[in-house]
């Protein structure tokens, strides 16, 4: 286990600040790469919902885990995601007030920005708490991006854990975990 990683504590109300999870959460985005999907879920449930203003700006991103993958395949995907060869660089956020905002993904470099989304605070798909919701169902996005529903919660100031869901006919399906970190 990475030295910056400690075990998560049980969930606390989303309104608590700071939460017990923030005291025990990994300290860096790269430390989150050491965790599997069940550990990330526990951290996610114990995190807090940030204000939209908290995530303003360009955040560095990493894909962390794909729950459907295990063993050597999961390890290979994690290794690729942690390398500079992985195309996704992060997300950029802009609040448009207390209750809504917008953002876009950065790929290949910080200059290439694709797949815009709208943000709001709303119920999480992972439990009885809120999260920052990222909705890609916008006319300018291609059909294969529009069913993506991301959400993020704050592990500690400047470090966020996210879930990516695909909205399918049978309902949302968790497809991966990602992390975001404010650049230092």
Share of the chain above pLDDT 70, in %: 87
Taking 60 as the threshold, does the pLDDT of residue 22 lie above it? Answer: no
User: 94 and 102 in contact (C-beta within 8 Å)?
Assistant: yes
Residues 27-38: tens digit of each pLDDT: 899 899 889 899
**Confidence tier at 85 by pLDDT (50, 70, 90):** confident
According to CATH, the topology of domain 20-182 is Lipocalin (2.40.128)
Residue that the structure tokens 């050597």 belong to: 72
Whole-model pTM: value is: 0.85
- Name 88's bridge partners: 107
Q: Mean pLDDT score of the chain, rounded to an integer?
A: 86
pLDDT at 6: 35
Task: Look up residue 100 and give its two tokens.
Answer: 């809504």
Alpha-carbon distance of 79 to 40, in angstroms, equals 17
Radius of gyration of the chain (CA): 15
**Confidence tier at 23 by pLDDT (50, 70, 90):** low
- How do the domains of the chain map onto residue ranges? 20-182
Taking 70 as the threshold, does the pLDDT of residue 9 lie above it? Answer: no
What is the mean pLDDT of the segment spanning 73-99? Answer: 90
- Name 28's bridge partners: none
pLDDT at 45: 96
String of DSSP letters for 138-149: -TTS-TTTTTEE
User: 136 and 148 in contact (C-beta within 8 Å)?
Assistant: yes
Residue that the structure tokens 């990475």 belong to: 2
What is the mean pLDDT of the segment spanning 105-129? Answer: 94
At 100, which helix (H) or strand (E)?
strand 100-107
- Indicate the SS3 state at residue 4: coil
163: left (phi over 0), alpha (psi -120 to 50) or beta: beta
């Amino acid at each position: 286990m990475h030295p910056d990683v400690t075990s998560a504590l049980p969930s606390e109300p989303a309104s608590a600040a700071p939460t017990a999870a923030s005291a025990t959460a990994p300290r860096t985005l790269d430390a989150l790469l050491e965790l599997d999907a069940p550990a990330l879920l526990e951290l996610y449930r114990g995190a807090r919902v940030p204000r939209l203003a908290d995530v303003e700006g360009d955040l560095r991103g990493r894909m962390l885990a794909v729950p459907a993958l295990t063993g050597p395949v999961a390890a290979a995907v994690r290794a690729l995601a942690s390398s500079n060869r992985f195309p996704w660089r992060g997300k950029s956020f802009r609040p448009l007030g207390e209750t809504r905002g917008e953002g876009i993904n950065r790929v290949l470099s910080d200059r290439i920005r694709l797949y815009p989304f709208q943000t709001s605070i709303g119920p999480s798909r992972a439990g009885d708490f809120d999260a920052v919701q990222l909705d890609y169902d916008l006319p300018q996005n291609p059909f294969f991006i529009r069913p993506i529903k991301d959400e993020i919660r704050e592990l500690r100031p400047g470090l966020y854990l996210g879930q990516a869901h695909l909205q399918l006919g049978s309902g949302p399906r968790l497809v991966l975990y990602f992390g975001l970190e404010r650049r230092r």
